[in-house]
Amino acid sequence: MVMSRTDDARVWMVTGALGSMALAVALVPLRTMVAASNLAFVFMAFTIIVAELGGHAAALVAAVVSAMSLNFFLMEPYLRLTISKTDDIVAFFALAACGFIAAAFGKRRERWSEVAGRAAKELDVLQRLIGQLRDRTPLDGILGDLKRSFGLSAVVLRDAGDRILAAAAAGSTPTLIPETQLNSDTLLPSDEARVRFGARGVRLPEGGGRLRLRTDRGVVWLDLWEGDPQGFGLDESRTLAIAASLLEPELDRRRAG
């Protein structure tokens, strides 16, 4: 069973909290021999590891619990959240500050990791499409894969006379033809001043949208209906537009064949 990103983050948050406390308990035998300011480096290293593996939120939890555990278990008076020595006060705040810095770097790494993950996914969609075109996969199968990859509810390919050439839909094929033409680069409505947006980005029109595909034998329409109200991110829109453009020469080849 594969954990989602949210589940994975929660696991690392728990790991950061419990790990910090367990680390403090393990260091208790050393608290009379080593200054708390030196023991703080151990917690700092642990927080950096959590930031790298678990991300921003887990690193914040690890930083806070590490500072509190250092204070509670390893600073005099022991087992109390008070600090009696100036050096320990400096160590406490230095550990907390370094932990927050590590968490900030963890957040940046999360963003880059998310961007890289999206790019890899979109590249995989295009590579799979190219393979399907090369293998002359039936158009219904190609449209079905696009529907799943982009979370669409239906995809229909129609000729200039609006006759259905291929279709992929969750239920029955939509009979109504979308009235809104989409920009081939951005998926934004070409003739609507008001654009719908979701949490991730632009949404398709409520009644579906049409992409114009130009072939040697005339115009072909790719009709799209959204399946996810969160919309498309900029990269997703661009990838879907590229996927649609790849269908143009393939339609010419199949008609010629």
Question: Do 170 and 87 lie in a common domain?
Answer: no
Count of domains observed in the chain: 2
- 169 assigned to some structural domain: yes
Per-residue pLDDT tens digits for 41-78:
899 899 888 888 888 888 889 989 999 999 899 988 88
Q: Does the global pTM surpass 0.85?
A: no
pLDDT tops 80 at residue 8: no
pLDDT score of 20: 92
Single out the residue of 195, 174, 169, 184 nearest to residue 243, CA to CA. Answer: 184
Contact 199, 231 (CB under 8 A): yes
Per-residue pLDDT tens digits for 152-170:
999 999 988 889 888 998 7
Q: Position 105: which residue type?
A: F
Single out the residue of 89, 87, 73 nearest to residue 20, CA to CA. Answer: 73
Question: Do 64 and 156 lie in a common domain?
Answer: no
Question: Do 68 and 98 lie in a common domain?
Answer: yes
Final residue belonging to a domain, choices 115, 148, 163: 115
Question: Do 33 and 79 lie in a common domain?
Answer: yes
Residue 130 CB neighbour total at 10 angstroms: 13
- 38 assigned to some structural domain: yes
Domain carrying residue 241: 137-256
Report the range of poorest mean pLDDT among 85-89, 132-136, 209-213: 85-89
- 128 assigned to some structural domain: no
pLDDT tops 80 at residue 234: no
Question: Do 195 and 165 lie in a common domain?
Answer: yes
Question: Do 46 and 91 lie in a common domain?
Answer: yes
pLDDT tops 90 at residue 14: yes
